[in-house]
Amino acid sequence: MNPIKKLANLPRITIILGAALIVAIIAFIVTTAIMSNKVSEAESINEQLQLTNEQLQLANEYQALNVEFQQYENQAQKLANDSIIMKYEAAKSKVEKLLQELNSEKKKSAQRIHELQSEIETLKGILRHYVAQIDSLGKENAGLRAENKEIRDRNAELASQVKEESRKNEELSERMTLAEKLNVTGLSITALKKNGKKEKNITKAKQLMVTFTIPQNNSTPVGEKTIYLRITSPEGNLLGNAGTFPFEDSEIQCTARKIIEYAGEEITGINIYWDVNTTLTPGEYTVELFADNYRLISRKFILKK
């Protein structure tokens, strides 16, 4: 390109760039102004929400004052001093008026909310004064009533204490009784062959062996203990018939039983056997152990074919 023509095009480019810069600046100013307005609007909305929340709290306090005034209204009518009754009624009327003003306000202002809060505090003070005046009436009779109530309360308290002590004694007795119960751990059931070895197929089992451990328990009385075993088949039938034993005011049957000598120390590897006299089926078997009128343990086991 001719250098002279190139130089001639420079002013036009400068004008275009300048115009673009001016447009960008104007757009930035407009955007900033819009964002500023939105921020101000959001702050205003937030302030109104806060004032509305305060107004709701004040309305609740007004309602509470009204309820409390009504609670003492009948007693206030018994006051011999008419001026006190008038003040009481005036205070009640003021509460209602303030409630109406609060509900009618549409434009919220922090100053008005503060004024209403101050008036609430004033009314609270008046209410406390009226309550004190009302409570001072018939003080003698109130004292006698209080004395009678105190006697009744003492009697009720004594009765409650006796009942509580009886309950504690019953709980202590129950805990002591439960503490005496034998504990059982490591309960298992094993199907055995005729030679005493383990049989995996329950349908071929010739004997069932229940094994368990009795841990040390210093609270359990020492001496001879009879352990009763109950095995229930998947069909819900009790296996075996080794007689009955007492349990919860009745007599129930057991599969087998075993007598042990308990000296308070741990006894491991206790076995109770039952010779199979029927065809056993695969499924869930329930094993239970009883002693001293307690169910010591109850567990379910799956025996497979």
* Tens-place pLDDT, residues 189-240: 999 999 999 999 999 999 999 999 999 988 888 999 999 999 999 999 999 9
Q: Higher pLDDT residue, 102 or 4?
A: 102
Q: Is a pLDDT exceeding 50 seen at residue 178?
A: no
- Asked if 9 and 55 sit in the same domain, the reply is yes
Pairing of strands 244-247, 223-232: unpaired
- Asked if 97 and 170 sit in the same domain, the reply is no
Q: Is a pLDDT exceeding 60 seen at residue 8?
A: no
Instruction: Over range 37-53, report the average pLDDT.
Output: 69
Q: What is the pLDDT of residue 7?
A: 46
Q: What is the pLDDT of residue 256?
A: 97
- Asked if 161 and 119 sit in the same domain, the reply is no
* Structural tokens at position 74: 């009948």
- Asked if 249 and 163 sit in the same domain, the reply is no
Q: Higher pLDDT residue, 37 or 216?
A: 216
CATH number at residue 299: 2.60.40.10
pLDDT > 70 fraction of the chain, expressed in percent and rounded: 70
CA distances for 279 relative to 126, 201, 255, 259, 285, angstroms: 91, 12, 15, 28, 14
- Asked if 212 and 153 sit in the same domain, the reply is no
Q: Is the pTM of this model over 0.75?
A: no
Instruction: Over range 69-89, report the average pLDDT.
Output: 63
Q: Which domain holds residue 158?
A: 139-179
Task: Write the CB contacts of 295 (distance below 8 Å, at least 6 apart in sequence).
Answer: 247, 288, 289
Q: What is the pLDDT of residue 73?
A: 63
**CB neighbours of residue 180 within 10 Å:** 13
- Asked if 99 and 174 sit in the same domain, the reply is no
Lowest mean pLDDT among 6-15, 41-50, 84-93: 6-15
- Asked if 85 and 208 sit in the same domain, the reply is no
Q: How confident is the model at residue 176 (pLDDT cuts 50, 70, 90)?
A: very low
Q: What is the pLDDT of residue 171?
A: 47
- The total of structural domains in the chain comes to 3
Q: How confident is the model at residue 177 (pLDDT cuts 50, 70, 90)?
A: very low
According to DSSP, residue 222 is labeled P
- Asked if 7 and 131 sit in the same domain, the reply is yes
- Asked if 77 and 164 sit in the same domain, the reply is no
- Asked if 171 and 206 sit in the same domain, the reply is no
Q: Higher pLDDT residue, 202 or 36?
A: 202
Residue with tokens 């075996």: 240
* Tens-place pLDDT, residues 106-159: 666 677 777 777 777 877 777 777 777 776 665 655 666 677 777 787 777 766
Question: In the chain, where does DSSP find H-type helix?
Answer: 3-76, 82-104, 110-136, 139-179
Q: How confident is the model at residue 78 (pLDDT cuts 50, 70, 90)?
A: low
- Asked if 239 and 271 sit in the same domain, the reply is yes
Long-range contacts of 16-23 (CB under 8 A, 24+ apart): none
Of 179, 205, 235, which marks where a domain is finished?
179
Of 78, 103, 136, which marks where a domain is finished?
136
Q: What is the pLDDT of residue 143?
A: 67
- Asked if 170 and 259 sit in the same domain, the reply is no
**CB neighbours of residue 103 within 10 Å:** 10
